[in-house]
């Protein structure tokens, strides 16, 4: 894969928000891990290199994918459907100023500037497998915080049963949004108990760095036991709702993409098997694991449900 010059990938706003991020970060003490190595000095722009991570594998012993793989092989249809083209088209995406509104069926709706959100919820590292519905996967060291912390603070009402997430709509910045085939903006949803699960995070960074635009800066969802498309990028709105939200993918192809989208090797996509996957960087395909290997932690959420019907 080609290397993108750091001069193209680190415009001033990213540099500034990264400095803010490094100051605000709490649980993960980047300073203690050697932030100087990231080139975080006044007249030096940070390079497109990974920052410090707590370990080199996931809990199963699978090695992390490289920073280059994670930042140059992306799905972000707002920019392009070409994975290798996202990073370039998104390089000037404005992630500051940025506000996130949390509302709907909550007692304490709020609109929060991203820098305040980062201060309020210190980021921690979570090393998760990401399994795309297309049949490839990666291991990614995310930085982020559990969504349940934010949900607790806005106090969901008793009739709130689902959480609905929405990506920024801005066709001037996101040329892919001129494609009329899709019902923009990108929308995703979770059942409230899925959203409250501790594995579910709002991610603010990866590899010890602030998120780059191609990975969903400045804030994206990560739900590691579901297909990657549930992990919605560049979120501007989070709403608690009573009815099951219709996601962009459900609207585009309802017989192919359901609401749950749990990783399941036993339920094929209508057009291909989901039994195996290609880990980016590996040659041989490997078996896909039920709930992407997180069954111990999440299977109880679906007790009694037919996973073929609720795909
Ligand atoms: N807004 C938005 N979010 C999105 C997508 C997208 O096209 N738009 N693609 C999804 C898909 S299909 C995948 S596999 C992951 C990819 O995340 P990554 O590029 O950070 O690896 O983002 C998901 N989130
Ligand atoms: Mo995906």
Tens of pLDDT, residues 185-220: 999 999 999 999 999 999 999 999 999 999 999 999
- Please state the pTM of the whole predicted model: 0.87
Residue minimizing CA distance to atom 14 of ligand 1:
228
- Looking at the predicted structure, is the pLDDT value of residue 124 above 50? yes
Ligand closest to 186 (CA) is 1
Residue 99, domain member (yes or no): yes
Ligand closest to 75 (CA) is 1
C-alpha 107 – ligand 2 centre gap (Å): 34
The secondary structure of the chain, three-state, reads: CCCCCHHHHCCHHHHHHHHHHHHHCCCCCHHHHCHHHHCCCCCCCCCCCCCCCCCCECCCCCECCCHHHHHHCCCECCCECCHHHHHHHCCCCCCCCCEEEEEECECCCEEEEHHHHHHHCCCEEEEEEEECCCCEEEEEEEEEEEHHHHHHHHCECCCCCEEEEEECCCCCCCHHHHCCCCCCCCEEEEEHHHHHCCCCEEEEEECCEECCHHHCCCCEEECCCECHHHCCCCEEEEEEECCCCCCHHHHHCCCCCCCCCECCCCCCECCECCCEEEECCCCCCEECCHHHHCHHHHHHHHCCCCCCCCC
When divided into structural domains, the chain yields a total of: 1
C-alpha 42 – ligand 1 centre gap (Å): 33
pLDDT of residue 39: 35
Ligand 2 is an ion; residues with CB less than 5 A from it? 75, 132, 228-229
Q: For a pocket test of ligand 1, which of 68, 231, 274 has the largest count of ligand atoms closer than 8 A to its C-beta? A: 231
Residue 274, domain member (yes or no): yes
Q: For a pocket test of ligand 1, which of 78, 201, 229 has the largest count of ligand atoms closer than 8 A to its C-beta? A: 229
Q: For a pocket test of ligand 1, which of 72, 75, 166, 261 has the largest count of ligand atoms closer than 8 A to its C-beta? A: 75
Q: Which residues span the domain enclosing 23?
A: 6-301
- Is 38 annotated in some ligand binding site? no
- Looking at the predicted structure, is the pLDDT value of residue 40 above 60? no
Residue 311, domain member (yes or no): no
Mean pLDDT of the chain: 88
Residue 1, domain member (yes or no): no
Which tens digit of pLDDT belongs to each residue from 76-104? Answer: 999 999 999 999 999 999 999 999 999 99
Ligand closest to 232 (CA) is 1
pLDDT of residue 37: 34
Residue 172, domain member (yes or no): yes
Residue 309, domain member (yes or no): no
Residue 131, domain member (yes or no): yes
Q: Between these two residues, 39 and 238, which has the higher pLDDT value?
A: 238
Residue minimizing CA distance to atom 6 of ligand 1:
76
C-alpha 28 – ligand 2 centre gap (Å): 28
**CATH code of the domain covering residue 233:** 3.90.420.10
pLDDT band at 48, cuts 50/70/90? low
Pocket of ligand 1 (CB under 6 A): 74-78, 130, 132, 167, 186, 215-216, 228-229, 231-234
C-alpha 173 – ligand 1 centre gap (Å): 17
Determine the atom of ligand 1 nearest the C-alpha atom of 216: 20
Residue 307, domain member (yes or no): no
- Looking at the predicted structure, is the pLDDT value of residue 22 above 50? no
- Looking at the predicted structure, is the pLDDT value of residue 5 above 50? no
């Amino acid at each position: 894969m080609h290397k993108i010059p750091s001069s193209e990938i680190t415009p001033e706003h990213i540099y500034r928000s990264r400095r803010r991020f490094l100051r605000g970060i709490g649980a993960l003490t980047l300073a203690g891990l050697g932030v100087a190595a990231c080139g975080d000095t006044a007249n030096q722009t940070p390079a497109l290199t990974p920052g410090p991570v707590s370990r080199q594998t996931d809990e199963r012993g699978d090695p992390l994918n490289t920073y280059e793989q994670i930042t140059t092989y992306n799905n972000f249809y707002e920019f392009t459907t070409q994975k290798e083209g996202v990073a370039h088209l998104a390089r000037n995406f404005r992630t500051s100023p940025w506000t996130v509104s949390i509302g709907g069926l909550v007692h304490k709706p709020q609109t929060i500037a991203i820098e305040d959100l980062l201060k309020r919820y210190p980021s921690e590292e979570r090393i998760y497998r990401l399994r795309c519905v297309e049949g490839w996967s990666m291991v990614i060291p995310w930085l982020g915080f559990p969504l349940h912390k934010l949900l607790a603070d806005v106090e969901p009402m008793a009739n709130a049963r689902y959480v609905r997430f929405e990506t920024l709509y801005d066709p001037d910045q996101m040329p892919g949004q001129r494609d009329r085939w899709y019902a923009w903006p990108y929308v995703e949803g979770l059942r409230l108990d899925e959203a409250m699960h501790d594995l579910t995070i709002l991610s603010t960074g990866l590899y010890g760095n602030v998120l780059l635009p191609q990975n969903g800066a400045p804030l994206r969802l990560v739900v590691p036991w579901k297909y990657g498309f549930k992990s919605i990028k560049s979120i501007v709105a989070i709403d608690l709702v009573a009815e099951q939200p219709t996601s962009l993918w459900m609207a585009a192809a309802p017989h192919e993409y359901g609401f749950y989208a749990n990783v399941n090797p036993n339920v094929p996509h209508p057009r291909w098997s989901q039994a195996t996957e290609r880990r980016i960087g590996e040659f041989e395909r490997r078996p896909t694991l039920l709930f992407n290997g997180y069954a111990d932690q999440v299977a109880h959420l679906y007790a009694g449900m037919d996973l073929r019907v609720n795909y």
